[in-house]
């Protein structure tokens, strides 16, 4: 049985302990970017039907600086290979419901999507967050939706 997501997503308030450093992405097209991911939003999106434990989703964002730019007249949208220097550490997140998560934003892909009027390439950067649950208050754990049966 899979995870059941609730129709009612609850946006959570949270505090972050720590942050990502700037990472450098050297792209195959010659552009060098500085990228700093951050945690922008956390939502409780449902409960695991087997354990009753809440499930959280993490929304990430990033700050971006161009370090070196190779201007172009026209480009086709494409995934670009990137050499990433640096990585984001695990960040402690305290949610207002008493839960504690560790979150690690990771750069998953960089896609060149076009150029602006000055010829500066534009990129779409995808960041995903790995999540580790550190603490869930007992009062947040719901009765499992069904019992897991063991086969022998």
d(CA 54, CA 70): 46
With beta carbons less than 8 A apart as the criterion, state whether 95 and 14 touch. yes
Q: Is residue 56 part of a domain?
A: yes
Q: Kindly state the DSSP code that residue 138 receives in the 8-state scheme.
A: G
Average pLDDT, the chain: 89
pLDDT surpassing 90 at residue 24: yes
Give domain status of residue 149, yes or no.
no
| Half-sphere exposure at residue 22, Cβ-oriented, CA atoms within 13 angstroms | 9
- What's the pLDDT tens digit per position in 69-95? 887 777 777 899 999 999 999 999 999
Q: What is the tens place of the pLDDT at every residue in 118-129? A: 888 999 999 999
User: 20: which residues sit within 8 A by CB, 6+ positions away?
Assistant: 36, 37, 38, 88, 89, 91, 105
Residue 147 in any domain: the answer is no
Pick from 118, 79, 93: which is nearest to 18 by CA? 93
- Please report whether residue 83 resides in a domain: yes
Q: Which domain holds residue 94?
A: 4-137
Is position 90 within any domain?
A: yes
The domain total for the chain is 1
What's the pTM? 0.81
């Amino acid at each position: 049985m899979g995870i059941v997501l609730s129709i009612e997503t609850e946006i959570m308030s949270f505090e972050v302990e720590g942050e990502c450093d700037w990472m450098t992405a050297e792209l195959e097209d010659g552009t060098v970017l500085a990228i700093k991911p951050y945690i922008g939003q956390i939502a409780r999106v449902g409960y695991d039907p087997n354990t009753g434990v809440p499930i959280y989703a993490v929304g990430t964002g990033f700050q971006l600086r161009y370090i070196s730019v190779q201007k172009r007249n026209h480009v086709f949208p494409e995934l670009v290979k990137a050499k990433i220097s640096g990585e984001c550490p695990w960040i402690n997140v305290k949610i207002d419901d008493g839960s504690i998560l560790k979150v690690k934003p990771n750069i998953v892909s960089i896609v060149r999507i076009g150029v602006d009027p000055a010829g500066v390439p534009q990129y779409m950067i995808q960041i995903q967050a790995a999540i580790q649950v550190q603490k869930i208050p007992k009062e947040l754990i719901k009765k499992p939706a069904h019992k897991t049966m063991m086969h022998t």
